Amino acid sequence: MFVFSFNKKMNIDLMLDNKKIYIKFIKITYIIFALALLTILLGPYVRAEDAGLACPDWPLCHGYVIPPIDYQIYLEFIHRVVAGILGIFYSIWFFWGISNPKLRRLFLPYFILASFVLVMQIYLGRETITKQLNAYIVKFHLLNAIFFVSVIFFILYRLYRIIYPIDISLINIDKSNLRVLRFIVFLFLILIYIQIFLGGRVSANYVGLVCPNFPECYTEIIKNDNHEIINTVYIPPLILGFEMHFTHRAVGFIVFFYSLYLWYLFNKYDILKNKILLLVSMISLQIFLGILNIVFELPTLTRVIHSFLATVLFLTTFFIFLELKQILLSKNGQE
């Protein structure tokens, strides 16, 4: 009896010690995540203010460690500084993670993946400058940044669910429907990533206003025998900038209607309803911001919010996917 009680106390103490390790590590992971989001926020701001080449060299800025004071120069410089601070905290986080046996066992593949993606991000940042804002590099710089923050978010989520497991006692959905929902959300996650790529393509190629009207693309005046015919063009010729702009618009509405379908399904199965409602609300706001970008000819504030909200949408969808996966794992564990 004494041995049983002693072993039980040892197991409880071990669990508490593990929890303390996870709580400490999750704090610095939150810092990494916040800094990564801040760099993603600053990137569109730099671009909206046409400051992408305000520091034309790399890693210095106009040959200086601290450049001359200028609004555009300091926008780009601050972006670099925040990225540098992220690199410092990331190094501490990474070596802490791989040096701890419990964290290493849980996250070693993700530590390696995040490091590779971060190195790629640094390289793409350099190439963005040295290749004079090449459109392809700018697009992949954005997509890679979202991939990096997603890996950090995944580690955050797993840490959080270790500390605070899901209570599935009130979740009545069966596993087959749960798998279907998870697959449908996974497809939606891919669709949002594609839409972010399409948005980056519009921005990197400066075609945000090739369709200057909404909901139509543009109107044209056709003169015919002393008569003028006003023709409203909703679907422009799908070439060059018109194709880029129109594709982004069209997929945006596909995303919206897909989210309504998700709302219907999640309400039907009575699961994660508030999170889906939040997702639908953000997508509605995203479309509204896109319209404002057209109507007011790309004001800086709406451009920045529109770009950053796309990342938040992706992470929100990713969170819903992870929740469904965790609920499924918990149900399997009960059997």
Percentage above 90 pLDDT, the chain = 74
Q: What percent of the chain has pLDDT over 70?
A: 93
> In this predicted model, which residue has the larger pLDDT, 20 or 160?
160
What pLDDT band is residue 335 in, cutting at 50, 70 and 90?
low
The 10s digit of each residue's pLDDT in 169-204 is: 778 888 899 999 999 999 999 999 999 999 999 999
Predicted confidence band of residue 15 (pLDDT cuts 50, 70, 90): low
Query: pLDDT tens, 82-95?
Result: 999 999 999 999 99
Query: Which has more confidence, 49 or 231?
Result: 49
Q: What is the mean pLDDT of the chain?
A: 90
Sign of CA dihedral 207, 213, 215, 216: negative
- Is 70 exceeded by the pLDDT of residue 12? no
Name every residue whose Cβ is closer than 8 Å to that of residue 234 and which is 6 or more positions away in sequence: 215, 216, 217
Is the Cβ–Cβ distance between 75 and 52 less than 8 Å?
A: no
Other Cβ atoms within 10 Å of 259 Cβ, number? 23
Residue 11: the pLDDT is 43
Reported pTM: 0.91
Contact 21, 103 (CB under 8 A): yes
E-strand spans in the chain?
218-224, 227-233
Token pair belonging to 7 = 């072993």
Whether the CB-CB separation of 11 and 58 falls below 8 Å is answered with no
Least confident of 13-17, 20-24, 111-115, 262-266: 13-17
- Cα distance between residue 162 and residue 291, in whole Å: 42
pLDDT band (50, 70, 90) for residue 163: confident
Q: Please, where are the H alpha helices in 49-100?
A: 71-99
**How many CB atoms within 10 Å of residue 246?**
20
pLDDT of residue 4: 40
Q: How far is CA 112 from CA 94, 115, 144, 283, in A?
A: 9, 5, 15, 33
- Split at pLDDT 50, 70, 90, the class of 17 is low
Question: Which residues neighbour 191 within 8 Å (Cβ) at sequence distance 6 or greater?
Answer: 251, 254, 255, 258
DSSP count for the chain of H helices, then E strands: 8, 2
